[in-house]
Structure 1
Amino acid sequence: MGTYTTLYLGDFELVSSKSAVIPEVMTVFVESDRRSLWRRADNDAVVEGPLKDDDTLREIEYAVEIAAAIQRLDIMGFTLERCRREYEQIRAEELRGYREADEEEGGSSDVSDSFYDAEIAKYERLTFDNYVAAFKDVLHRRIHWYDLEPDQRAALDATASYILADQHDEWHFFGFLCQDIRMFLRMALSLVRPEMYLRQDVSQLVSAGWVREENPIRDDAVRLLIDRYPENAPRIVLTEGSSDAEILRKSLSVLFPHLVGYYTFFDFHGSRAAGGASQLIAVVKAFAAAGVANRVIAVLDNDTAAHDARRALQGVRLPDNLAVVHYPARDWLREYPTLGPSGNIPLDINGKAASIELYLGRDALMTDGHLCLIQWAGYSQTMRAYQGELLDKSSVTERWRVKVDKCLADRSSIVPADWDDLRAVWVQIMCAFPA
């Protein structure tokens, strides 16, 4: 008998591994997802502690809601679109290989001819959509091969039979054509309700002594992967300055707390790096030249200076793991109060004056019942536009800090409308890389 750890989708057993967790699976969790609980042995009900009749089992597991797990996989690059694309690529390669082998054999024997015909027919049938439909039925009916009687197995259609007969192959989990289990996970998660849980049970590893209870099992497993693939390392966010980085870091904790740890921010204070759009573009070039393996997202202001600075990247071919985005345009910024030679006039400041402070919420931008003004400053000949600057940035930022601290201390105090603009910024960052 071995010691096994099991990954569950709801109460359905997806994958078991012997003596250790699968490191790729653990990238979907964070250490704060870990929990220890007691279950009744007879019906799996969770109870507050061990019962006197000793009919309870202690479980140690990592658990995350499906909606959060999907977001984590997506930001690592394991999108549903990529699942489909890579699945179909593998299927096409298998088909080509069997067809070429069949032609080389030239029908030399009835046995080989029958084998190749069967494999070709199988892969022609196993389109992504057909597989997903069959696996969805398996999942919802909670079917496992070992639970079925011979007559029940015989009654399965060809695709379901293929899926169930190949549940734990090293590469093809449930026969899914992929080279990384996270592709299979992303597909499977799309088939269940977002409020369900993905659970990695590590109870046996602890009870059998493979790991100590106090060990950070998730972090130890992921550490083994960091040097192998960029998907396993945090995404690096580069900003124009330390204030931007602070705001993005804290807003991530408020808006997407389950994604903390999946992004890391360039340390302007520790590195004593200069801020500003031009300096950020220089850092982007340096990262590109250094061949940094992590996915890197450079986030620029949506103002004249940033768009002007970005012109320095024209003709520069950036690696696929490096993306450059601006803070997104917002409809309500199309008529924002500005101060210039003609007085106080509402103008469209998208692309001309939208620094991070404009995304902190109207509540932070209000002073004495009015929005803080944008003042027009220097004129850019190349962009043919003025650069706008928010007056009294420090007061706006301080009001936002009070708000964010309150929200982090009491999540019930979060007013969604006050966070719409920063949520849009994070959506922009999360969508920086094509699917």
Structure 2
Amino acid sequence: MGSYISLGVGELELDWGKNFGFRDYSKLFLPSDKKNIPYYYADDEVILKPGYSTSLGRVKSRLELLGYSLKNLNNHFQQHNDNYPDYLEQPDISFETMLEIFSRINIKDYKNKKEDGDYDLGEYVIENIFLNETFKDLKNHIDIKDNDIGAYFENLDSLFTLRLLIENPNNLKMNLEWRTQDVIDGGWTNDNEIFVGVEEADKFLIVTEGSSDTFIIRKSLELLRPDILDFFTFVDMEDNYPFTGTGNLYRFCQGLASIRIQNKTLVLFDNDVEGIDKYNKTNKLNLPNQMKIMKLPELEEFNNFLTAGPTGETNENINGKAVAIECFLDLTKSTPIIRWTSYNKDLDAYQGSLENKDDYVRAFKVIKNSNDNYDFTKLTKLLDEIYKNCI
């Protein structure tokens, strides 16, 4: 008979496999997510065994970094329809209707029939979804003529379906569970083989103007978003960082564009005079689809910032003029000041920099966790902007 492996939320199974034939879902989890979880069997038998479990609230971020953001779901739906065999009947349902129906479903109300035996193609969905009270809105919208309609939904990408269900806030505290132990006990695989994690093709290479930028972003992720840290890689910053300075970073982007790099890459420019100039020039390049360009975000906190220059000390808006990554650190322990250092004749603007910025970096280096007495407000906004660009 063999051994089964399944991905589900509560009693709702989203995907299952048998023996060697199953999909790798380890990229949705961290190694630390392994724990004893419920396995559901016939005759209402529930047994606790090792598997992987994490909340849907945390899975949402990982799904979006894998390409399943709400904005991209319509593309997944269209691809499913385009690739679905012509000889099988498709239901008359739009993406908007699917989203509306699935985002109202409360998974905790779902109870699986848990019957033994194999199902024909489409039969499982007909028996366990359309005839289930939890999915009554879907049944009312679909004319169920035969198992072909069930096959259409059975062949939907399980991650597409999962992302739709996550749109219901009531589901976010429920756990996504990957029940792997039966295929391990059956000798079809082992713990080391089954957990692959995030593969290189799914990771984002972050490239910045200097090693300090890279250090601050990486440590911010470690402290504030450890649940998605494994989706990011960084250029080695220990020795002879190769892209120091705005001009070199721009030339690096020219090189990546010319070779049509296939890796997911996010290039981050400062939000100062030189950074904005090179950011605009880089955006005019014929960039590969996998390559994204961003600048440090403009924040309200920078609208009225103490500066010093030829006219003395004044409070000015430094967005687009003097915002480097050190400005996103905790500056509350002193009075930070921007020093106007040079005049750019071509851009008719002064370039500024944060005084004593190395002191702020050193203070950040000693922070051990997100509960330390440190103001992470601006760093959180920076990570949110990086995340938004990646998805």
TM-score bin (small chain): 0.7 to 0.9
Residue of structure 2 in register with 1:63 after alignment: 53
Shift of 1:271: 6.2
Structure 1 residues 184 and 328, CA gap change in structure 2 (3 angstroms):
same
Residue of structure 2 in register with 1:275 after alignment: 244
Structure 1 residues 284 and 274, CA gap change in structure 2 (3 angstroms):
closer
SS class of match (2:247): helix
Residue of structure 2 in register with 1:428 after alignment: 385
Larger Rg, first or second structure (1 or 2): 1
Q: Runs of 5+ in structure 2 lacking a partner? A: 116-125
Residue of structure 2 in register with 1:208 after alignment: 186
**Structure 1 CA distance, aligned partners of 2:301 and 2:229?**
29
Structure 1 residues 338 and 14, CA gap change in structure 2 (3 angstroms):
same
Residue of structure 1 in register with 2:13 after alignment: 13
CA-to-partner distance for each residue in 1:347-402, whole Å, 9 max, x for gaps? 11111111011001233xx33xxx22111011112222111011111111111122
Shift of 1:43: 8.3
SS class of match (2:91): helix
Residue of structure 2 in register with 1:101 after alignment: none
Shift of 1:62: 1.4
Structure 1 residues 271 and 30, CA gap change in structure 2 (3 angstroms):
farther
Q: Tell me which amino acid in the other structure corresponds to 1:300.
A: F
Residue of structure 2 in register with 1:381 after alignment: 345
Q: Select which of 90, 94, 102 maps to 1:127.
A: 94
Is the CA contact (8 Å cut-off) linking 2:339 and 2:352 kept in structure 1?
yes
Structure 1 residues 392 and 133, CA gap change in structure 2 (3 angstroms):
closer
Residue of structure 2 in register with 1:354 after alignment: 323
1:310-325 alignment to 2 at 5 Å? 310-313=279-282, 315-325=284-294
Q: Tell me the TM-score normalised to structure 1 length.
A: 0.75
Shift of 1:313: 2.4
**Structure 2 CA distance, aligned partners of 1:400 and 1:138?**
43
1:42-61 alignment to 2 at 5 Å? 57-61=47-51
Q: Select which of 64, 68, 71 maps to 1:78.
A: 68
Shift of 1:39: 8.4
Residue of structure 2 in register with 1:195 after alignment: 173
**Structure 1 CA distance, aligned partners of 2:195 and 2:60?**
18
SS class of match (1:186): helix
Structure 1 residues 289 and 149, CA gap change in structure 2 (3 angstroms):
closer
Tell me whether 1:396 sits opposite 2:360 in the alignment. yes
Shift of 1:69: 0.8
1:87-126 alignment to 2 at 5 Å? 87-88=77-78, 90-91=80-81, 119=89, 123-124=91-92, 126=93
Shift of 1:269: 2.6
Residue of structure 2 in register with 1:245 after alignment: 214
Residue of structure 1 in register with 2:120 after alignment: none
SS class of match (1:64): strand
Shift of 1:198: 0.8
Structure 1 residues 24 and 285, CA gap change in structure 2 (3 angstroms):
farther
Q: Tell me which amino acid in the other structure corresponds to 1:127.
A: S
Is the CA contact (8 Å cut-off) linking 2:39 and 2:179 kept in structure 1?
no
Relative to total residues, which structure has the larger helix share, 1 or 2? 1
Query: Which has the larger displacement, 129-138 or 69-78?
Result: 129-138
Shift of 1:292: 2.4
**Structure 2 CA distance, aligned partners of 1:127 and 1:40?**
33
Identity across matched positions, percent: 23
Question: What is the aligned length?
Answer: 373
Residue of structure 1 in register with 2:163 after alignment: 186
Structure 1 residues 188 and 360, CA gap change in structure 2 (3 angstroms):
same
Shift of 1:308: 2.4
Q: Tell me which amino acid in the other structure corresponds to 1:248.
A: I
Structure 1 residues 33 and 374, CA gap change in structure 2 (3 angstroms):
same
Residue of structure 1 in register with 2:110 after alignment: 142
Q: Tell me which amino acid in the other structure corresponds to 1:174.
A: E
Shift of 1:12: 2.1
Shift of 1:78: 1.3
CA-to-partner distance for each residue in 1:6-47, whole Å, 9 max, x for gaps? 1111342221111257445322222232224688999888xx
Q: Tell me the TM-score normalised to structure 2 length.
A: 0.82
Residue of structure 2 in register with 1:52 after alignment: none
Q: Runs of 5+ in structure 1 lacking a partner? A: 46-56, 99-115
Structure 1 residues 391 and 131, CA gap change in structure 2 (3 angstroms):
closer
Structure 1 residues 321 and 40, CA gap change in structure 2 (3 angstroms):
closer
**Structure 1 CA distance, aligned partners of 2:158 and 2:48?**
28
**Structure 1 CA distance, aligned partners of 2:384 and 2:145?**
35
Residue of structure 2 in register with 1:3 after alignment: 3
SS class of match (2:358): helix
Is the CA contact (8 Å cut-off) linking 2:303 and 2:317 kept in structure 1?
yes
Shift of 1:166: 7.1
